[in-house]
Structure 1
Amino acid sequence: MAGGWLCLEQRGPWGHNALLQSHLDPAVGRALDAAAGPAGVRVQLIRRPGRHADEPPDGPRRAYLAHTGPTGSWLRAADLSDPSELLGLNFAAIAAGRHGGWGREVAEPLLLVCTNGRRDRCCAVLGRELVAGLQGRHGDAVWETTHTGGHRFAPAAVLLPSGYTYGRLGPHQADAALAAAGSGKVTLEHCRGRSTWTRAGQVAELAVRDQIGEHLIDALRVEPADGDQVRVTHQDGRTWTVTVHERELDPPRPNSCGKAAVRPTTLVAVDVSDAPAGVSGSPAPDPPPN
C-alpha cells in the first residue's frame, strides 16, 4: 500500500536492497527510506532502458514524485545534481496530496517495469524483455525500476500517477495500459490493483470495476475494511459491499525464479452486492490543495 511514490534515477547495477546496494550513497538511501516509508511514500530507484555499465553516474539525474489518491493524483519531475536534495521533502504532505510546488508537472503517465535481477531473476529476464519490446515507442514514459512487489507475476509494472500495478505484461498490453492512462482510464487486463488501497481494497475495487464495466481511473473510492467486507463507492453515489476471502491456489507453483513450488495464497472477491437501501458510502473529500 502506497499513497505516494518517489522515483530516483540511479544508473549502474542494483543489489538485492537497491537503496543500500547501488552507486547511490547508502547513507542517502537509508535516510530516504527512513523518512518516506513511515509517511506512506514508497522510494524506488529507476534507470533508463538499455545497458547499465558498472560505473558511477555522471551529470544530473531525474526524480519523479507522484501522489496516487483518487481525489487529486499528480506526477511531478525534477532534475537533480545531488540526491540528498530529496531529504528536504515533506513526505507527510506528499502522502496527503500536497507537493508544495516541487518540480514541474508531468502530463503523461509513467510505466515502471521491475528489472531488479538481484531481487528476482525473473524480473531481470522478463522485465528487460518487456522494456526492450517497448523501446522507441514511448520516450521517457518507460523506465526500469527496483522491486515493486509481486515478482511471481513478472514482468511486473506500475503506472504513475494512478498507482495501478500490473503483472505478466506483454508489449501490447503495456501499450494499451499507457494509452488508457493517458485518457484517464485503466485497463483491467493483467491489472493487480491500485497501490493506494490495502490488498483487500485492491481486490474489491477491481471486482466492482469488472462487474459494472467501469474504466475511469478516479471513479471509485474504497473505505477501510470491516472484517472481510470492503465498501466501494462510485463517484455517482452508488455503493457496493464486497466480501473478500483468502484462498490457497492450486496447483503449487514457484513464487520466484528458481524456487521450489509452493501453494500460494491469494485474496479473492467472493461476493459483490449493492449496499442496502438508504446506505451510502462517505462523500468523496475535496481534492487536497497543492
Structure 2
Amino acid sequence: MRTERFFCADAARARGDALPGTAPYGLVWVLVEHHAPWPADGYDGLPLDPVAKALLFEAARAVRARVLLIRRHGRRTQEAGPRRWAMLRYDGTGAHRQQWGTWERDEDLARIADALEAPGETGEPGHPPVVLVCAHGRHDTCCALRGRPVARALSERWPELVWECTHVGGDRFAANVLVAPDGVYYGGLDARSSVAVVEQHLADRVHAGHLRGYTDLFPAQQAAVAAVLARFGPAGRHDYRVTGTSRAGPHWLIRVTGPAPRATAYDVEVTAHRAPPHQLTCNGPATSAAVVHEVTSIRVG
C-alpha cells in the first residue's frame, strides 16, 4: 500500500499555523560560504580541521551567534577562488555592523573567531542587509522545495544581497527568509510574495502579513509587535519599541511604543498556549506541541 508523502509546510498551511512569535532569538550571525553539498546538520557536519572547526564553534557559542552555511543560488559548482565569510551584528539603534572576509584553508576560519571575540563595535555600519533564504534540503524537504524558487526570484532581483543558507528554524513555515543583521524573519513565502516582502523591507516598511518576528524580541513580544503592525499598517524596522513586558502565567501584557513625535503606546495582551501535537518537520516523524502566542486585545495606553 502506497502512503502519501508528508510535507510539513503543506500541513502547517492546512492547519493555519500562526507565524507571529516564531522567530528564534539572535543578535549575531556567522555566514560561511560552502559550495559542496551541505550536511543535514550544516556547519556541525562539515569535514573541517577539528581544531579550526572547534575554534569557530566555541567563539560563536560564547556570543550566541548562529553559524549558517551560504551559497549563491544556482552557482554551487561554478564558483572559483576564495570563499566568503561574514560576521553580522544587530544593533538596537539600527546601526547594524557587518564584517566580511575570505577563506581558502580551514585555518582561515580563525579570522571569524577573532571577529566574534572583538568588541561589539567590530565591523562596518551602513551596508545593505543580507537576504538569506533557507534552502537546506538535507535538513528538511520543504526548505528545498519552497526555498529554492524563492531564492531564484530574489537572486534575479537583488543578486548581490541574496544567498541561500542552511537551516534557520521553522521548517513548517517554508519558504523562510531571514534579513540580517536587521534581525527579521519572514515565512510562508513563495516566489511572488517574497519579492514584494523584500522590496518593502529594503524600503524600511515591514508588513505583518508574512512576519514571523524580530530576533531581538522574545515570542510574546514578537506577536505583540506583529499585531500592532497588522492593526495600524506597515512601519520601519525600528519604529516600534517594546517598552514594557509583564507576565502572569500564560498571560502577557506587552507595551509597544510607536515612533516620535507622537510616541503612541499600545498595551497588547498575549496569551500563550500549546497547540495539539503534530509532526512539525518533513524528516522527523515524531510529534511535538508548538507554543502559540495569541493576541487577545490591543489598547491605546
Normalising by structure 2, report the TM-score.
Answer: 0.78
Matched, 1:271 2:297: yes
Q: Is the 8 A contact 1:158 1:164 kept in 2?
A: yes
Q: Which residue of 1 aligns with 2:98?
A: 76
Residues paired across the two proteins, number:
266
Q: Is the 8 A contact 1:239 1:274 kept in 2?
A: yes
Match of 2:64 among 40, 63, 68: 40
Partner Cα distance (2:290, 2:116) in 1: 38
**What is the alpha-carbon distance in structure 2 between the residues aligned to residue 92 and residue 205 of structure 1?**
32
1:194-221 Cα shifts (integer Å, max 9, x gaps): 1111112211111122222241111011
Secondary structure in 2 matching 1:93 = coil
Which segments of structure 1 move beyond 6 Å, counting only runs of 4 or more? none
- After superposition, the C-alpha distances for 1:123-158 in whole angstroms (9 at most, x for unaligned) are 122212322333422112111111111111111110
Over 3 Å counting, the alpha-carbon distance change for 1:205 and 1:38 in structure 2 is farther
| 8 Å CA contact retained: 1:113, 1:156 | yes
Task: Please tell me whether the aligned partners of residues 76 and 105 of structure 1 are also in contact (alpha carbons under 8 angstroms).
Answer: yes
Q: Is the 8 A contact 1:73 1:162 kept in 2?
A: no
Is 1:171 the counterpart of 2:191? The answer is yes
> CA offset at residue 14 of structure 1?
1.7
Matched, 1:240 2:282: no
* Aligned-pair CA distance for 1:74: 2.1
TM-score normalised by length of structure 1: 0.80
Alpha carbon RMSD of aligned pairs, Å?
2.6
Q: Which runs of 5+ in 2 are unaligned?
A: 1-24
Q: How far apart, CA to CA, are the structure 1 residues paired with 2:244 and 2:58? A: 26
Structure 1 gap segments, 5+ residues each: 276-290
State which of 37, 48, 71 in structure 2 corresponds to 1:13: 37
Cα deviation for residue 23 of structure 1 reads 4.9
What's the counterpart of residue 129 of structure 2?
109
Aligned partner of 1:162 in structure 2 is 182
Q: Is the 8 A contact 2:254 2:270 kept in 1?
A: yes
Farther-moved stretch of structure 1 (66-75 vs 136-145): 66-75
What is the CA–CA distance in structure 1 between the aligned matches of 2:246 and 2:63, rounded to whole Å? 23
Q: For structure 1, which segment, 212-221 or 23-32, has the greater mean C-alpha deviation from structure 2 after superposition?
A: 23-32
Higher RCO (CA-CA < 8 Å; seq separation 6+): 2
Q: Which amino acid aligns with 2:73?
A: P
Residue number in structure 2 paired with 1:280: none
- Give 1:32's aligned amino acid: L
Cα deviations across residues 1-28 of structure 1 (Å, max 9, x unaligned)? Answer: 1122222212212223212212544543
Q: Which residue of 2 aligns with 1:191?
A: 211
Q: Which amino acid aligns with 1:44?
A: L
Distance of aligned partners of 1:85 and 1:224 in 2 relative to their CA distance in 1, 3 Å threshold: farther
The farther-off stretch of 36-45 and 144-153 is 36-45
SS across alignment from 1:172? helix
Shift of the alpha carbon at 1:192?
0.5
